[in-house]
């Protein structure tokens, strides 16, 4: 067993921490970094292996790129990832190209593979003083007789089980959060619609690697997202009914067909490119907000607020909420965390839910995109969450 672990750190240094975070990706690793940088004793655990992939098209919006710059991590991300200087929207046969305005230290947007981004975040957390253990599983919470969370039971990579005391347990364990389930975190707001997706990576696609391309026709959508190591991710989006009736039978054929219907040039480029790995799918889950705190616990990232991937905004929000939660922990103002998170999120969430209904024509969709864009701009202007890493 030990030889398989390859010299990685397998054991926490202490039995007691100020904060223990379950999940060490976009939300968990960045929260661990910010809290450790503020001087707290932090342990983050993740049941997956260091550097492993996770299902995402990983496009970062301006808020995420700004935070990576603020945290001193952007240069590392950009080493293997192309700079995105334009966003190209194609509505039917009409194309609209918008330049991404550069700003000091930020040349454009980016879409690093999660195998690139998440280890950089973990490295940032460790450099700030947090302990991060992979292949380490959250088994359950330990509560006092009043129901306040006091710690957790974890299973280590060595198969040992440990009880760890924690001033606060943070669930950064994603959409199906076991921490949220354990505390019975109520769902406070829910959408009505969800879209389904198929995605695949390609080498030598021959499509402009300096742009995010978003494509729409009635009843479908897609995107071309240049990413790390010369690969490009192409995703297709469809109503859940089409996914159930058509994609389930032959997902690769459906992915190719939708891409071709969106843009025959894209369809042909995909046929001539080298595909890397299989088509991966996400059948869709309706978005939701959970109450993100209670006695001795808090939630961040998808665990607390999940939205449909169509806006490519989950990582951006995870970074924002890592900052908001850090500020809340330091100020002991968890109600303020929930209030600010909801205030900043609900306008985008509402427009996105409409987009996922597919009950639009292209002119209505443009209106919904304008709503998304103004929600994103309002969020970018809001500096309540800004936390610098020293």
Ligand X SMILES: Cc1cc2nc3c(=O)[nH]c(=O)nc-3n(C[C@H](O)[C@H](O)[C@H](O)COP(=O)(O)OP(=O)(O)OC[C@H]3O[C@@H](n4cnc5c(N)ncnc54)[C@H](O)[C@@H]3O)c2cc1C
Instruction: Pull the structure tokens for residue 114.
Output: 């999660």
Strands 305-306 and 288-290: antiparallel
- Least distance (Å) between residue 113 CB and ligand X: 11
- Least distance (Å) between residue 200 CB and ligand X: 12
Nearer to ligand X, 38 or 325 (CB): 325
- Least distance (Å) between residue 22 CB and ligand X: 5
Beta bridge partners of 115: none
Nearer to ligand X, 68 or 94 (CB): 68
- Least distance (Å) between residue 7 CB and ligand X: 21
- Least distance (Å) between residue 140 CB and ligand X: 9
How crowded is residue 96: how many other Cβ atoms within 10 Å of its Cβ?
12
Tell me which DSSP letter residue 185 carries.
P
Strand, helix or coil at 92? coil
Closest by CA position to 258, among listed 203, 351, 196: 196
Nearer to ligand X, 8 or 55 (CB): 55
Rounded Cα gap, residues 63 and 377, in angstroms? 9
Packing angle between helix 62-70 and helix 362-381, nearest 10 degrees?
Answer: 20
Strand, helix or coil at 323? helix
- Least distance (Å) between residue 302 CB and ligand X: 4
Phi, psi at 10, each rounded to 5°:
-115, -5
How far the first Cα of the chain sits from its last, in Å, is 38
Alpha-carbon distances, residue 146 vs 16, 55, 150, 296 (angstroms): 20, 38, 10, 11
Whose CB is nearest to ligand X? 314
Nearer to ligand X, 44 or 266 (CB): 44
Site residues (vs ligand X, CB under 6 A): 22-23, 25-28, 45-48, 54-59, 137-138, 172-174, 178, 197, 282, 301-303, 309, 312-316, 318
Nearer to ligand X, 45 or 270 (CB): 45
- Least distance (Å) between residue 104 CB and ligand X: 23
272: CB partners within 8 A, 6+ apart: 206
Nearer to ligand X, 94 or 113 (CB): 113
Nearer to ligand X, 84 or 143 (CB): 84
């Amino acid at each position: 067993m030990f030889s398989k672990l390859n010299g990685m750190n397998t054991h926490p240094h202490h039995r007691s921490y100020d904060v223990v975070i379950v999940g060490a990706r976009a939300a968990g690793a960045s929260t661990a970094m910010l809290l450790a940088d503020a001087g707290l004793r932090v342990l983050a655990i993740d049941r997956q292996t260091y550097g492993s992939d996770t299902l995402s098209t990983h496009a970062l919006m301006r808020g995420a790129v700004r935070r990576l710059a603020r945290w001193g991590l952007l240069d590392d991300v950009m080493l293997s990832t192309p700079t995105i200087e334009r966003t190209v929207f194609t509505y039917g046969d009409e194309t609209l190209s918008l330049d991404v305005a550069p700003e000091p230290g930020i040349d454009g947007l980016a879409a690093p593979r999660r195998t690139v981004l998440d280890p950089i975040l973990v490295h940032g957390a460790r450099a700030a003083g947090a302990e991060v253990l992979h292949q380490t599983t959250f088994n359950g919470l330990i509560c006092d007789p009043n129901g306040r969370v006091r710690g957790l039971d974890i299973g280590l990579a060595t198969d040992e089980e440990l009880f760890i005391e924690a001033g606060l347990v943070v669930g950064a364990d994603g959409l199906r959060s076991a921490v949220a389930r354990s505390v019975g975190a109520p769902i406070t707001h829910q959408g009505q619609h969800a879209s389904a997706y198929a995605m695949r990576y390609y080498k030598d696609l021959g499509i402009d690697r300096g742009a995010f391309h978003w494509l729409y026709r009635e009843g479908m959508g897609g995107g071309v997202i240049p990413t790390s190591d010369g690969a490009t991710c192409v995703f297709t989006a469809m109503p859940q009914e089409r996914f159930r009736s058509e994609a389930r039978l032959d997902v690769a054929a459906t992915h190719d067909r939708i891409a071709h219907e969106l843009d025959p040039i894209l369809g042909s480029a995909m046929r001539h490119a080298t595909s890397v790995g299989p088509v991966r799918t996400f059948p869709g889950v309706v978005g939701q907000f959970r109450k993100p705190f209670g006695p001795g616990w808090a939630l961040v990232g998808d665990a607390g607020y999940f939205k449909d991937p169509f806006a490519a905004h989950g990582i951006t929000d995870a970074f924002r909420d890592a900052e908001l939660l850090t500020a809340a922990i330091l100020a002991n103002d968890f109600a303020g965390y929930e209030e600010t998170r909801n205030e900043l999120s609900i306008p985008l969430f509402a427009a996105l839910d409409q987009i996922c209904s597919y009950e639009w024509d292209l002119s209505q969709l443009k209106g919904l995109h304008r709503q998304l864009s103004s929600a994103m701009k309002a969020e970018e202007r809001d500096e309540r969450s800004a936390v610098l890493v020293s």
